């Protein structure tokens, strides 16, 4: 089974009794993560908090909290099947003769579908905030631990481009929300994003950054083409490692094509019914 978006996966979890809806008002500061932590450790269901204090958005957590749900999201019976599929995909050098090459055609088709697709308009741009509309406080970013300095976007996809070569990088770096339009990027010095920042600084340039959070599950249709949708959070174009970052300009990306826009964009939330 394939999933065109995150909501369809959540709908299946709901039907299977693996999604627990919580309508009680809960706090994004420590409370949600405390509840989720207990359930994950017990192998419990995923959670959909429908009433988050101070935010108009619901929040889903623990969707991939068990190996079984991870395999389900990939349309596989178990995670061992994923290892076999990846190994078969990368082992294309064993083909010998015409018959061997022809036997590799299905794998080659899958490999050709791996690169991202170019689109003119992405689902992540269905809702766009500009100027004074931008307020990160509306997004239910969580404070996970008592000694954290504030709420963190813990697993964003942070996209940067080498200011010299133009080569792009995508990494996961924690982003601390410091204000309605400010985040702090936590880049360790040896990370590629930090190297891009250092190069830009030496060239006297601003570093353009895009950040995608609330990542949907990459899935495959019958054609084998990867699918995935995400919401894009404000990303700084002038980042300082582990310090505040100005968000005066932003870069929005689908997986393939970047467009400068002074805005914050996201996909419209559709609660599974």
> Could you read off the pLDDT of 228-257 as tens digits, one per residue?
333 333 333 333 333 333 332 233 333 333
CB of 247 within 8 A of CB of 134? Answer: yes
Q: Which of 18, 33, 109, 132 is CA-nearest to residue 68?
A: 18
Tell me what the mean pLDDT of segment 103-122 comes to: 73
Q: Which helix (H) or strand (E) holds 139?
A: none
- Which residue ranges make up each domain of the chain? 76-112, 123-266
The pairing of strands 251-253 and 244-245 is unpaired
Q: Which residues of 18-52 are buried (b: 16+ CB within 10 A; e: fewer)?
A: bbbebeeebebbebbbebbeebbeeebbbbbbbeb
Indicate the pTM of the whole model: 0.72
What gap in Å lies between CA 17 and CA 19, rounded to an integer?
A: 6
The predicted structure's pLDDT at residue 99: 59
The predicted structure's pLDDT at residue 172: 92
- pLDDT at residue 100 above 70? no
Give the least confident one: 42-46, 192-196, 247-251: 247-251
What is the overall mean pLDDT for the chain? 77
pLDDT band of residue 29 (cuts 50, 70, 90) is very high
């Amino acid at each position: 089974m394939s999933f065109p978006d995150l909501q369809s996966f959540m709908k299946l979890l709901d039907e299977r009794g693996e999604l627990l809806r919580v309508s009680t008002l809960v706090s994004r500061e420590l409370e949600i993560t405390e509840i989720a932590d207990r359930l994950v450790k017990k192998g419990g269901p995923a959670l959909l908090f429908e009433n988050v204090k101070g935010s108009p958005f619901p929040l889903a957590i623990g969707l991939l909290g068990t190996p079984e749900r991870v395999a389900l999201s990939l349309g596989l019976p178990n995670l061992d099947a994923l290892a076999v599929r990846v190994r078969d995909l990368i082992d294309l050098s064993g083909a010998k003769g015409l018959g061997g090459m022809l036997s590799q055609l299905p794998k080659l088709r899958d490999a050709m579908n791996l690169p991202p697709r170019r689109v003119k308009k992405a689902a992540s741009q269905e809702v766009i905030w500009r100027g004074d509309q931008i307020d990160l406080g509306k997004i239910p970013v969580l404070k996970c631990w008592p000694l954290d300095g504030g709420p963190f976007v813990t697993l964003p996809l942070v996209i940067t481009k080498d200011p010299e070569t133009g080569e792009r990088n995508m990494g996961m770096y924690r982003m601390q929300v410091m204000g309605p339009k400010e985040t702090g990027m936590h880049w360790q010095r040896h990370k590629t994003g930090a190297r891009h920042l250092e190069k830009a600084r030496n060239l006297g340039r601003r570093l353009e950054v895009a950040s995608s959070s609330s990542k949907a599950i990459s899935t495959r249709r019958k054609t084998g083409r990867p699918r995935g949708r995400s919401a894009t959070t404000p990303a700084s174009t002038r980042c300082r490692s582990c310090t505040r970052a100005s968000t005066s300009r932003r870069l929005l990306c689908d997986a393939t094509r970047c467009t400068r826009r002074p805005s914050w964009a996201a996909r419209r939330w559709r609660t599974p019914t």
